[in-house]
Structures are given as C-alpha cells and as structure tokens.
Chains A and B, each alone.
Chain A
C-alpha cells in the first residue's frame, strides 16, 4: 500500500513542521553547554555541520527535537539549542517513534553510535526503519565503543585488537547501510564526518524525506580508534576508494586520466548477480550501472552497499535509497482521525455498553 493508494497527499518530511521567516545562523543552534568531547573528535565536525545546516531548513527551532541513546556521540542533543532528550542505551528510535506519532509538527532526529544503534539497539533500529516512522537517524560510526573506553563494536573489522579483544575480535561486522536496506529503509545515506558538503547534501535530502532515514556518518575517534577512516581522507587514496553516488548518473570514480575520463566504473557481475568495480577502459562506460535511488526495488542499492567491505578498499557514499512510502506515523494518525470523525467518542455511552440493568 502506498500513500497514493490511500489517497494521502505525498508529503515531504518537513511539510507539517512550522517554518519561520526569521533569518537563522549556526550560532542560534548552539546551546549554552560546554562541549565535552575529546579534542579532535569527529563529533565536533558533525555538530558544526549540523548547526550550519539547520538554518537552511528555515524551521522554527522549537519544533526541532534531537533524541539520542548513550555513547559519546549521544551527548549531541545537549549541544543543540533545540528540544532534546539524552535517553538510554539503544532505545532512542523507540522514544522518537512515540514522539513522532503524536507530534507531526516536529522534525525529529535520532543521534546514535555504532554500539548504541547496532548492538543494544539493533532491534529498535530495524523496526523503526521497516515501519518507516518519520524520524531521521544519524548513526555516528567510529567502529568502536568510545564512551566505555575502547572495546570493539559491531562495526569493528574482524581481528580488531582492543581492550576486550586482546587476541583480536572474532565476529563479522555489520555493514550498516546493507542492514538498513535489508530492513527496507526508505532512505539510506552515508557520508564522512570531514566531508561537510557531502554530509550536508545527505542531511538535506534526509530531512525532506517523509519516513525514516538512516544516515551513516563515518566518524573518527582519535582516542580509541584513531585514523579508522584516514585512507578516505587522504586525497589520492580517497579518489581510488570513494565511490560517490549521484542520482541518474553512471557510477564511476577514481583519478582522472589525461583525457578527463575517470578510471573506474561499477558494473554488473554476471557471476554473482551483484556489482563489481572494473577499469572503465576495459569494460566501456555503457556497461556501467546508473544510480537510481528512487527505484522501488532495493536490489541495486543493496548491491552497491556490498562494495564497501570492512577494509574500506571501496566506500560508497551519498544517497543509496530514497523512495516514497507511507510513513507509519501518518497512517497511525490517519486511523485515529478517521475513527474520531466517523464515530466521535461518547464516554458515557462507552461506559454504559449494551447490556445494563437498573436497580431502584
């Protein structure tokens, strides 16, 4: 069932949130709290990006809410001059769901870490995504437990040596984008903390998307997992590794050759049915797949997500999926509205019921 089938107007993510003409600045979104992340923490850059991005939405700041779980990243709401709740470990998507269902006039953001979202809160994450509640989930992935001082996390690469895994971690990590697509999330994106432009683009699209959005943000933790994403930040390395997704364009990347062509393209792999990276010179640009985030079938988006392995030899960034689907909270309100209009509640009548007797 789609919103169109139900006769619902196709709303944007923020259409019911009151806006303001008042010009806003980044500093309007800074709270009076002293920021207490470690020096050099990637969380600072994301916070700054968020504070300069929000004014572009032109929303009334009192109608923006940040809800977080527990972890270094989850301190985020304290630093935003909006409404906020720093809740408990892993449960922010559930709390945000209850808020979003009751308050269509709010722009609700969830801030969570790789441990918060994918270990303790894995259940709530996948269910929030499959339900398609109108909340935006920012997953700060530093591939480590920061706040508890450096244990491996569900996104740490296998063999990771940490305080809790001196002989190396054993488990296979999650690829959060694959996980979200597997849960049929209607919006999935990925960006790097240091890529202000790329992150802002993804955030803007997420904010305007109606339904749940998962945005994975690679975030450096200089204290417990320093340099986890350095290969994506070194210019030369980044060119070979990062595969940026652009709507309607062929998926190509890599250093430019002298004739202005990029070196690599993503093509179908006839053996696996998935996608693979090939030199353009060998396969020709016509073989390269075109990116369509609005495709109803998430198969290609999923195949793209599989190009990112835990060694980050390739990392796909941008918006993997952005499809319109009815959001849970809209449907839930619709049911209540329908019931209230069709049979306005009469409490006395309800309490009486149909089977009464009178004692005189």
Chain B
C-alpha cells in the first residue's frame, strides 16, 4: 500500500493528487473542533471518499482554557480507496492554540503540514503549557511545513460589518479553519453552508456569521499566496450503492429501531446516562415514532430492570451503558439468565477500571461480559468491528436474544461509538425477519392441561415466552432455581446440575457463522492474527502493509465471542503462530488458551487509544521473523 503522489498542474495553481490524507483538527475544548471535524468529514463523504474518523476529547466539558488537558481533537482519514483506520499520524495538523500544538506535535511526521492560529500564541498561553520560547520563532518546527495564520483576527475582520460582538465573531474562527482546509483539499462547500443555515435556523445572524467565516477561510487560501499547493483526493471506488456517513452510536441506535420493526415488537430502552453510551439514548429518544420508548431511569439497575420487566410483558427490552454500568447491571443480567427472557445489553466500553478514562477507548470488559456474574451464568456476546457494523451487530444481538430467550451483551467501544465511516445503506426489504411467536396454549406433556414455562424447544433449548394477558398460561418465574419443564421452585441437587448444564448448552448451541480467514497468499501464511471489536481496522491495515512487503500473514476477526464460531479451534490449530492484539491485558487470548489449548501470543496495549497500523505492522513483522 504505497502512497503514489503525482504532481500535476491544474489550472493556475499547482494541485497535487494524493491517495489519502490524514487531517487532525486540534484546539481548546471550547473551540468547536468536533464540529469542524464532523463537517469536514461530511464534505469528504459527500465527495465520495472513503473515510474513518477518530474524535478525542477530554472528560471535562470545559477543562481550563488553553491547557493541555483541555485539548480536544478530531482526526479524519480520507482516501480514494477503502481504508480501515482513522490513520496513525496526521499529514496535516491544525492547531488552534499552543496547547493543541504541544499535545499533538509528537504525532506529526517530519515535513508534515502544521497550520497554526497565531492569535493564540501569546506569552500567557505559551507559559500556560510550559513553552519557554515561542515554538513558531525558536526554530523548533523547522522540520515541518508551518503555515501561520491569524485566524481569530482575520475572522473578526471578515465579520466586522455584521455587527456581531468581537467575542462572538472570534468564536467563528473554527469555520474559518474549515473553509481554509476545504479550499486546500478541493472540498465541496454547499453542504456546509446549508448545514450552518439549518443548525442556526433560529439565529440567522449567527448562521450568516459562520458562513462568512467559512468563506473567509476559503478566500484566504485562494487569494493569499501563502499556500502554494492544493491537494486532491479522488472519490473512492467503493462497492456500488448509496452511502451515508455514520458513527457507531448512531448505527447502534438505528439497529435498535430496525430491531423493533423487524421483530414487530415495541422497544423499551431502560438506561442511565454514561459516556460514551449516552448518544444512543439521545438518538433513540428522537425515534419514538417507531414504537420505541426511552426510559431514563434513576440508575443503571433500574434501567435494566425496566427493560427486563418490558421483556416479561412481551416487548423487546434493551439497555445501554458502559463498563461501570455493566457492573451495576450484573445481578439483573443474572436474573435474565435464570428467567430466560430476551434482553439486549449494550456496553460501549471505555477505559477502566472504575471511572477510568470515560472518553477514551478500551476493550477490557470482555471478561466482565463473559463471567461478571455470580454462579454459572452464560451470556452470548456479540462485538461489532466498525462503526457501521454496529447496525448489523444490533440485529444479531436481537436475533439471539429473541430466538434463544436470553440476555445478550453487545460490546462496542469508545472508538467505534464516536468514530464514523461511510455506510452502504441497507435495503430494508432485505433485512432479516426477527419475529418470534409467543406461547398461546398449555403445553404440558401429560394431559393436565397445564402450562410448563420451562418446557424447551428441543432445537434451540429456548423456553416458551408466555406473556401476561394470555389466558390459561399464568405462571411464576424468578431468580430461584426452577424445575426443568414444570418450572416450580426446585432445590433438587440433580435438577440444579441439569439446569446449569442446560443453560450452558443453550448458549453453546447458538448458531453463529463460521470464522473466515483472510489470506491473500492462498494459504502460505504461517501466522494468523486474530482480532475482535474495534481492532479490526488497525489489524487489517497492518496486515496489508506486511503483505505489501512480501510477507504472507493471515487475519481473521471474531464477531461472536460467546459462543465462538464452531470452526475456531480448527482454524487456530492450522497456524504455527496465532497472534491476538487487544486493547486490554490479554482477555481474548486467555479465553482461547483455556478453551483450545493453543499457545496464543498476545500483544496488548491499554493506552485509551486505538492501535496504530504502523505499530502493529512492526509487531506482525517481528513475529513473522521469529517463526521464519
């Protein structure tokens, strides 16, 4: 995957064609960097590039202004081919203040472009972040292409006529930056102008001010001679179809809405706000017209409790949270295991333990999902690989929950949740039917005419779902052990042993697709790299790089973590080396070693950030070297 750069004259100005670019917008949390990044993403999307994004922001809403902890950034990778990650290092860093420069400089490659807002580079701000001398003046940036632009001042000048106060005018400088970058990369601008008009529909003067700032940025690039070249990244040749841009949390929310439609059941989302899962609640609360009720409960326990109560009533019960919330929900998940009711628990993982790193990503809740309950309490686990995969993962979790009458945990994470990518919009007609039947008549195998709530479907081992209001099927369920079949309370030792095994068999027997291995060398690879969740992108990108260097490597991705695909053991045993990179201490590796007795190698990092492709490229190369 080499970068071909071809210089080409277009019109008067020199324009360079690129295959891909990584841009990072960085500024103070109050500078509107997330919005700026989002808009540039939309422009790239509507232009037809493939893209991936990585927002990175502090847990504090407004950390002290101008400080390192207050820096918020948004990285965007866009390309003319299908890319897998938000990019390791920014080719272009936009730094709105000294803190943003300092916090991000280490990631910019030599000769990378840095565009700084000089207005903020005053003594006070420099001292705040520990710059003894102004880096714009002391030669420390001489290995980079630095563009100094007084964004605040120019924006204020451009808005002088609007009558807007100085402060308000200055706040539009993020749109100036967007305008400038849009010019540099030949981005379409209409959609941004329209977006601003819609966003500030109630404050037309603010809308106009932002549009003026945006145009000022564009014109600044066009008319000053500061920027010698512009760049073009052609549209990507993606599979034909209609696309949109989507974040993981939005895709999950849409997956929930679609689940309601496809199962023809009302959804109740019982939840309690927590980063990075809250946006799913926000999104779903807008879609009540799909028979979705959102219930913001007094805590996580009540949230999942309400979801389970809804399931008992015959609805589709869902709950969304992050690791700390899963801890609170565990007892209710156990109750759902025992009562064998369908329930979908969405855990958008963040850095832990405890409150940990609320806005950073991690995949360290796998063992919590797998084992974090008292007793033998098996729960199926599904993990989306990318933002858009969240939609399908939600359908898959719902399918398993409804079909097998079990709680299911869906493990997303912070980087998938907030990251975005193009999504080939699915054709609703082709989505699976998720409907299931309620029990409607007595089922006792004797002639008693009774209803036995624990008499199972011989194939799925699911028990009947008999909902209140159904005549003649009155029954009681609960957390106490039940007699298989009849469902009365039972303390019988053999029955308990049997029930523990049946609950396990039910989960073990869930049908999940076989694992597929990607090995373009046609079977020459001696090493398999296995990932799960959001490591999909970096693993795939690193594998491409390693293969491009002529080294075969096989890669595979687990979407179902409980049960594992039936062929997993065979696949693992086929390779001389199996490497599992994880953003945790080696949790999947532990499971694989325990279950398959394969000497899985673990590569772990728990830094709150996704793996970089270059980092994994090195790790893969080293491992391949070891077995060569």
Kindly state whether residue B594 has any CB partner on chain A within 8 Å.
no
Decide: B242 and A357 in contact? CB cutoff 8 A. yes
Taking a contact as CB atoms closer than 8 A, the residue among A83, A102, A335 that contacts B266 in the complex is A102
Q: How distant is the Cα of A356 from the Cα of B245 in the complex, in angstroms? A: 8
Please name the residue on chain A nearest to B261 by beta carbon: A347
**Which B residues, 460 to 514, have Cβ-Cβ distances below 8 Å to chain A?**
468-480, 488-489
Q: A352-B242, A356-B425, A357-B243 are in contact. List 4 more A-B contacts (CB 8 A).
A: A62-B470, A94-B305, A98-B306, A359-B243
Q: For chain B residues 289-340, which have a beta carbon within 8 Å of chain A? A: 289-293, 295, 297-299, 301-303, 305-315, 317, 331-332, 334-335, 339
Q: How far is the CA of A80 from the CA of B476 in the complex (A)?
A: 9
Contacts of B270 in A (CB 8 A): 94, 98
| Chain A window 116-141, contacts with chain B (Cβ cutoff 8 Å), 1 for yes, 0 for no | 00000001100100000000000000
CB neighbors of B among A321-359 (8 A): 332-333, 335-336, 338-340, 342-345, 347-348, 350-353, 355-359
Residues of A within 8 A of B342 (CB): none
**For the complex, what is the distance from the CA of A103 to the CA of B428, rounded to whole Å?**
28
Q: Chain A CB within 10 Å — which of B237, B261, B289, B301 has the most?
A: B289
Q: List 8 A-B contacts (CB under 8 A).
A: A60-B471, A62-B472, A63-B468, A77-B476, A84-B475, A95-B312, A98-B268, A98-B305
For A61, A62, A70, A106, which residue has the most chain B Cβ atoms within 10 angstroms?
A62
Interchain CA distance A67-B311 in the complex, whole Å: 13
A352-B244, A358-B241 given as contacts; is B478 within 8 A of A85 (CB)? yes
Count of inter-chain pairs, beta carbons less than 8 A: 209
Q: Which residues of A contact B258 (CB under 8 A)?
A: 347, 351
Could you say which of B42-50, B162-170, B543-551, B572-580 contacts chain A?
B42-50
**Neighbour of A348 across the interface among B240, B301, B428, B470, CB < 8 A:** B428
Q: Are B309 and A95 in contact (CB under 8 A)?
A: yes
Residue A257 interfacial (CB < 8 Å): no
A102 touches B268 (CB 8 A): yes
* A98-B307 in contact (CB<8A): yes
Residues of A within 8 A of B488 (CB): 33
Is A96 interfacial (CB 8 A cutoff)? yes
Give the distance to chain B from A212, nearest Cβ to Cβ, in Å: 14
Interface string of B547-560 (1 = CB under 8 A from A): 00000000000000
Q: State A102–B307 Cα separation when bound (angstroms).
A: 10
Q: Is B239 an interface residue (CB 8 A)?
A: yes
Q: How far is the CA of A61 from the CA of B305 in the complex (A)?
A: 24
Of A60, A91, A98, A352, chain B has the most CB atoms within 10 Å of the CB of: A98
Q: A336-B291, A345-B290, A355-B191 are in contact. Are A106 and B305 (CB under 8 A)?
A: no
Q: Flag if B473 contacts A336 (CB, 8 Å).
A: no
Give chain A residues whose Cβ lies under 8 Å from the Cβ of B305.
Answer: 87, 91, 94-95, 97-98, 124
Q: Chain A: which residue is nearest B305 at the CB level? A: A94
Q: Does A10 contact B (CB under 8 A)?
A: no
User: Does residue B238 face the partner (Cβ distance < 8 Å to A)?
Assistant: yes
Whether A359 touches B48, Cβ cut-off 8 Å, given contacts A81-B474, A106-B469, is yes
- Report B-chain residues with C-beta under 8 Å of the C-beta of A123: 298-299, 302
| A123 and B305 alpha carbons, distance in the complex (Å) | 13
Chain A CB within 10 A, most for which of B45, B317, B334, B468: B468
Kindly report which residue of chain B lies nearest to residue A135, judged by CB atoms.
Answer: B309
Which residues on the B side are within 8 Å of A360 (C-beta)?
240
Q: Which residues of A contact B427 (CB under 8 A)?
A: 348
Chain B stretch 221-244: residues in CB contact (< 8 A) with chain A: 235-244
Task: Note all chain B residues with C-beta closer than 8 A to A339.
Answer: 288-289
**Is A224 located at the chain interface by the 8 A CB criterion?**
no
**Which residue of the partner chain B has the closest CB to A65?**
B468
Closest to A338 in B: B288
Chain B interfacial positions (CB closer than 8 Å to A): 42, 45-48, 191, 235-245, 254, 257-258, 261, 266, 268, 270, 287-293, 295, 297-299, 301-303, 305-315, 317, 331-332, 334-335, 339, 425-428, 468-480, 488-489
Nearest B residue to A61, CB-CB:
B474
Given contacts A103-B469, A355-B245, is CB(A95)–CB(B479) below 8 Å?
no
> A105 near B: Cβ within 8 Å?
yes
Q: Kindly list chain B residues whose C-beta atoms are within 8 Å of the C-beta of A228.
A: none
Nearest 10 A/B pairs, CB to CB: A86-B478, A98-B309, A94-B305, A98-B306, A345-B290, A339-B288, A94-B302, A95-B309, A99-B309, A339-B289
Contact of A99 among B239, B254, B293, B313 (CB under 8 A): B313
What is A's interface to B at a CB cutoff of 8 Å? 31, 33, 60-63, 65, 67, 70, 77-78, 80-88, 91, 93-103, 105-106, 123-124, 127, 332-333, 335-336, 338-340, 342-345, 347-348, 350-353, 355-360
CB < 8 Å: which of A335, A347, A352 contacts B288? A335
A100 to B471, CA, bound (A): 19
Q: Which residues of B contact A31 (CB under 8 A)?
A: 476
Cβ contact within 8 Å between A96 and B309: yes
Partner of B479, one of A86, A97, A343, A351: A86
Among A81, A82, A105, A340, contact of B291 (Cβ-Cβ < 8 Å): A340
With a cutoff of 8 Å between Cβ atoms, the chain B residues found around residue A63 in the complex are 468-469
Asked if A343 contacts B428 (CB within 8 A), the reply is: no
Given contacts A94-B306, A340-B288, are A102 and B313 in contact (CB under 8 A)? yes
When A88-B331, A94-B306, A99-B312 are in contact, do A355 and B469 touch as well, CB less than 8 Å? no
* Contact across chains for B289 and A343 when beta carbons are under 8 A apart: yes
* Separation of A96 and B191 alpha carbons in the complex (Å): 47
**Residues in chain B near residue A350, CB distance under 8 A:** 254, 257, 287, 290
Give Cα A339–Cα B299 distance, bound, in whole angstroms: 26
* B244:A97 contact, CB within 8 angstroms: no
**Contact A344 B289, CB 8 Å, known A87-B478, A87-B479, A95-B309:** yes
- Bound-state Cα–Cα, A88 to B313, Å: 17
Least CB distance, B63 to chain A, in whole angstroms: 31
> Given that A95-B306, A127-B298, A351-B425 are contacting pairs, would A85 and B312 also be in contact in the complex, using a CB cutoff of 8 Å?
yes
- Whether A345 contacts B287 by the Cβ 8 Å rule is yes
Whole-angstrom distance from the CB of B466 to the nearest CB of chain A?
Answer: 8
Q: B310 contacts which chain A residues (CB < 8 A)?
A: 98-99, 101-102
A94 x B428 contact (CB < 8 A): no
- List the A side residues contacting B268 at CB < 8 Å: 98, 101-102
Distance of A274 from chain B, by nearest CB (Å): 30
CA–CA, A285 and B261, complex, Å: 64
A138 to chain B, nearest CB (A): 16
State how many angstroms separate the Cβ of B487 from the closest Cβ of chain A. 11
Question: Is A124 a contact partner of B313 (Cβ separation < 8 A)?
Answer: no
List residues of chain B with CB within 8 A of the CB of A61.
Answer: 474
A40 to B297, CA, bound (A): 39
Residues of A close to B307: CB separation below 8 A: 98
Q: Is the CB of A88 within 8 A of B471?
A: no
Complex Cα spacing A77 to B312, Å: 14
Of A96, A344, A357, chain B has the most CB atoms within 10 Å of the CB of A357
Q: Which residues of B contact A99 (CB under 8 A)?
A: 309-310, 312-313, 468
B295 in contact with A358 (CB, 8 Å): no
Cα(A73)–Cα(B209), bound, Å: 66
Q: How far is the CA of A293 from the CA of B307 in the complex (A)?
A: 34
The residues of B that contact A83 with a CB separation of less than 8 Å are: 468, 474-476
A78, B476: Cβ atoms under 8 Å? Answer: yes
Q: How far is the CA of A63 from the CA of B467 in the complex (A)?
A: 10
Tell me, rounded to whole Å, the shortest Cβ–Cβ distance linking B50 to chain A: 10
Q: Is A102 a contact of B315 with CB atoms below 8 Å?
A: yes
Q: Check if A98 sits within 8 Å of B292, measured CB to CB.
A: no
A62-B469, A102-B310, A103-B313 as given contacts; A85 in contact with B476, CB under 8 Å = yes
With A98-B295, A351-B426 as given contacts, are A103 and B45 in contact (CB-CB < 8 Å)?
no
Point out the residues of chain A lying under 8 angstroms from B476, CB to CB. 31, 33, 77-78, 80, 83-86
| Interchain CA distance A81-B239 in the complex, whole Å | 58
| B47, B331, B469, B476 pick with most chain A CB within 10 angstroms | B476
Cβ-neighbour of B289 out of A124, A127, A345 (below 8 A): A345
Closest A residue by C-beta to B250: A353
Nearest opposing residue in chain B for A90, CB measure: B301
With both beta carbons as reference points, the residue of chain A lying nearest to B319 in the complex is identified as A98
